[in-house]
Amino acid sequence: MLNKLFSFLLITISFSTWAQDTSDVQVLHLKVLDNIDPRTNRYTELGLEKAKEMDVDYVILELDTYGGALNDADEIRTRILNFDIPIYAYINKDAASAGALISIACDSIYMAGGSSIGAATVVTQDGAAAPDKYQSYMRSIMRSTAEATGRNPKIAEGMVDEDIDLDSIATEGKVVTFSVSEAINFGFCEAEVSSIDEIMSRSDVVEYEITEFKLGAADKIIALFLNPFVSGILILVIIGGIYFELQTPGVGFPILASIIAAILYFTPYYLNGLAENWEIIAFLLGLILLALEIFVIPGFGVAGVAGLVVMISALVLVMLNNDNFDFSFVNMKDLFIAISTTLGGLFAAIILMFFGGVRLTNSRYFQRVALQETQTKDTGYTSSFYKSKSLIGKTGKAQTILRPSGRVEIEGEIYDAFTRGNYIDAGTPIEVVSDEGTSLKVKELVS
């Protein structure tokens, strides 16, 4: 009797502990419902960082994507493979190409009814198959990812290459694409589900708290600055600020606005993995070439034109996910938007230069910081340091050697002086020919 009572108490305590543990289970829900690109890459990176920060027990990665950039997908799958917390892929409709790679990297795969996974052939922006070097790389990472997660590597490879012999698994000449039932049958899906509740239930988790990961305010602001319209305005400010600073050196406000606009332009693209270091350096190099043309080299020639071309090219390339000038996977729409945004900002800056320049010089702010009148001698202005008396025509002697500057003595007082370039020995009589500035201009007095 005591044994039965003890067993009952033990079971009760165990059940209570289990219920308490499950109620403390934390789940983070990430959603990738668009093309795989630098923004998706950064979203998943921030999401997994949040999962570690929250110390969650599970991560649910909901997927509905036709694929995207291979380099970003590779970074995401590597991040998932190296993550300590279990990550479950929930394919809500499609996980094609890069989406299939990311799914296979997850610890478990669940699929909604009517979903599919596969078709991971690498294609260019026009839909044609990419060169074999890309296919070979995709085959290798699909194979190694499947091996790492305990799935059939040959089938994973067959999602990329239609020539892989898979008997009756795939139609001859077609890459592998699984429906839900096929994916379950061949070990690429744990079960068909209709909700996250079902996924957690299959993990024996009844009570849990789920948090949907959303970008913070700072990341939303970064996303705002990635908008082509905002990027165009920033380009306008960058170019316009440089122009107006060159027109009114020393004012400071235009170049400050240009620097701030450049930071706001490049930083979001850099954080999202679009702007490379060399692209930012290229922009700075173009700026230097332009400055050399204006301040050092007379006229407007090769350096100036080269500077403008390099700057504009850098502004365009920053927006594109190119791989060192390889545009195979750059969508034509993205290329058109990048060029249109840059040229639009440039033309707007040119219009601002022509029509805004006049308004700027007539503005109250400009009149407060810039000299508007000519200060002539006949109105009482002078650059002479010797206001009490004029020393022009006065004579004296060189106290030191003038070669061409030195000191002279006039009527018992010592003054700084310089010649027109002539050498005058100490003790030689001199005559003052100009007293403007802080030094006297003198000449040798010939008797």
Q: Which CATH architecture has domain 377-444?
A: Beta Barrel (2.40)
Using the predicted structure, report yes or no on whether residue 293 has a pLDDT greater than 60: yes
Strand partners, 402: 424
Query: If you average pLDDT over residues 291-317, what whole number do you get?
Result: 77
Q: 3-class SS at 408?
A: strand
- Which of 154-163, 292-301, 355-364: highest mean pLDDT? 154-163
Residue 398's nearest CA partner among 377, 367, 419, 370 is 419
pLDDT of residue 141: 94
Distance CA 43, CA 32 (A): 9
Cα 446 to chain centroid, rounded:
71
Q: What is the pLDDT of residue 375?
A: 52
Residue 121 CA to residue 102 CA, distance in Å, equals: 14
pLDDT at 102: 96
pLDDT of 259 reads 86
Tell me what the pLDDT averaged over the chain comes to.
Answer: 81
In percent, how much of the chain has pLDDT > 70? 78
| Nearest Cα residue to 428 out of 415, 441, 444, 413 | 444
Question: So what's the pLDDT on residue 82?
Answer: 95
> pLDDT: is 168 or 108 the higher one?
108
pLDDT at 298 over 70: no
Choose between 372 and 288: higher pLDDT. 288
Residue 335 CB contacts under 8 Å (≥ 6 apart), including other chains: 320, 327
Most confident of 192-206, 289-303, 318-332: 192-206
CATH code of domain 20-214: 3.90.226.10
Q: Please check the confidence at residue 358 and state whether its pLDDT lies above 80.
A: no
Most confident by average pLDDT, 78-87, 312-321, 432-441: 78-87
Q: Over 80: is that where the pLDDT of 331 sits?
A: no
Which residue has better confidence, 319 or 374?
A: 319
Tell me, what's the pLDDT at 357? 54
Strand partners, 431: 395, 443
Residue 261 pLDDT > 80, yes or no? Answer: yes
Q: How much is the average pLDDT of 350-355? A: 71
For residue 76, pLDDT over 70 is answered with: yes
Model confidence at 65, pLDDT cuts 50, 70, 90, reads very high
Same fold, 20-214 and 377-444: no
- pLDDT-derived band at 62, boundaries 50, 70, 90: very high
Write down the pLDDT at residue 355. Answer: 65
pLDDT in tens, 233-259: 888 888 888 777 666 655 567 778 888
What span, in angstroms and rounded, lies between the C-alpha atoms of 183 and 89?
Answer: 13
Residue-level pLDDT at 195: 94
Mean pLDDT of 351-380: 57
Higher pLDDT, 117 or 245: 117
Who has greater pLDDT, 223 or 77? Answer: 77
What average pLDDT does the segment 65-69 reach?
87
Tell me the DSSP string of 182-243. Answer: HHHHTTS-SEE-SSHHHHHHHTT--SEEEEE----HHHHHHHHHTSHHHHHHHHHHHHHHHH
Q: Mean of the pLDDT values across residues 413-440?
A: 86
Output the pTM of the full model. 0.62
Beta pairing, strands 58-65 & 116-118: unpaired
Instruction: State the Cα–Cα distance between residues 15 and 2, nearest whole angstrom.
Output: 20
pLDDT at 8: 47
pLDDT at residue 9, as a whole number:
45
pLDDT at 284 over 80: yes
| Domain coordinates in residue numbering, the chain | 20-214, 221-369, 377-444
Q: Is the pLDDT assigned to residue 202 strictly greater than 80?
A: yes
Contact status, residue 123 vs residue 101, Cβ threshold 8 Å: no
Task: Enter the DSSP assignment of 131.
Answer: P
Residue 13 has pLDDT above 50, yes or no: no
pLDDT interval class at 165 (50, 70, 90): confident
Q: Counting Cβ atoms within 10 Å, is residue 299 exposed (0-12), middle (13-18) or buried (19+)?
A: exposed
Confidence of residue 446 (pLDDT cuts 50, 70, 90): confident
